[in-house]
Amino acid sequence: MGRILNVRWITAALAILVLAAVCIALGRWQLHRLDERKARNTVTRTNLAAAPAPLDQILGPRGVVGDQHAWRTATVTGKYDASKQIVLKYRNVNDKPGFEIVTPLMLPNGKAVLVDRGFLARQSSELMPQHVPSVPGGEVTVTGRLQRSERGGHTSGGTPEDGTARLINGPDYAKVLGLNLYDGYLTIDKQEPANDAAFGAFPGPEIDDGPHFFYALQWFFFALLAVGGLVYFTRQGGRDDKSEDDEVVERSEARAGAAD
């Protein structure tokens, strides 16, 4: 019986130690995410402070918006192609549901860039916006913030279907629209001629450390709790075993005394 209990105790102790190790690993992972977020915040602050520059000067020949370009202000001049406009569904700005309107801007070099023209709050339970502001005719100059193409894992939300999509993804849009698109997009800050007043503005980036540090503390606390519990119950078990041994000795002495 004692051997069975001993095996069970060893199994439980190993399980607790594995649990503590997992908690420590998760805590370290949260600290790693905190470091990544701080690095991203540094890039974002630098890009927000940078002066506007032409799109090709920022992106170079590859034409890909990377993490290092996020929130950088770019300027570009071209003509909108309203026939290839996409309505983004299930979007939220400042906790308000609605739609965003993405229109390709055709450039003199034969390429095009996706421009998120703005947010339209959903009215009641409408599935599509009742009115989409028309694009300005002729040449326009857009000054906006660069953003990476959005990706939704294994979903197809970045592939337009019937003029709608859930994500903005340059390569996926290019396949459907038949355009040579930059990999990324622009959100409008300023436009000449001016953007329609019906569009709502986009909020700026969240520049903070997030909850990662406190999550890490929680995981480390759980690990400490697990190890502390193991030590406590080990010592408690040792005391119980000692008490049982004392009882056995007392019974043996009592029997010996009775026999005398």
Asked if the model's pLDDT at residue 247 lies above 70, the reply is: no
Asked if the model's pLDDT at residue 204 lies above 80, the reply is: yes
Asked if the model's pLDDT at residue 255 lies above 60, the reply is: no
Under 8 Å between Cβ of 12 and 226: no
Could you tell me the pLDDT band of residue 151, with boundaries at 50, 70 and 90? Answer: confident
Give residue 185's pLDDT.
Answer: 97
- pLDDT tens track for 1-60: 455 557 777 887 888 889 999 999 999 999 999 999 999 899 999 999 999 999 999 998
Could you tell me the pLDDT band of residue 134, with boundaries at 50, 70 and 90? Answer: very high
Give residue 81's pLDDT.
Answer: 96
| Nearest-angstrom CA–CA distance, 208 and 37 | 8
Give residue 207's pLDDT.
Answer: 84
Give residue 7's pLDDT.
Answer: 74
Three-state SS across 73-118? EEEEEEEECHHHCEEEEEEEECCEEEEEEEEEEECCCCCEEEEEEE
| Nearest-angstrom CA–CA distance, 59 and 68 | 10
| Nearest-angstrom CA–CA distance, 259 and 251 | 12
pTM (two decimals):
0.76
Give residue 201's pLDDT.
Answer: 83
DSSP-derived secondary structure letter, 200? B
Give residue 140's pLDDT.
Answer: 97
Under 8 Å between Cβ of 13 and 235: no
- pLDDT tens track for 54-113: 999 999 888 999 999 999 999 999 999 999 999 999 998 888 999 999 999 999 999 999
Give residue 152's pLDDT.
Answer: 73
Most confident option among 59-63, 144-148, 151-155: 144-148
Cα distances (angstroms) measured from residue 44 to each of 30, 40, 47, 62: 21, 6, 5, 21
β-pairing, 139-147 with 73-80? antiparallel
| SS3 state of residue 119 | strand
The answer to which of 115-129, 223-237, 238-252 has the lowest mean pLDDT is: 238-252
Asked if the model's pLDDT at residue 241 lies above 60, the reply is: no
Give residue 235's pLDDT.
Answer: 72
Q: Which two tokens stand for residue 151?
A: 């990706």
| Nearest-angstrom CA–CA distance, 2 and 10 | 12
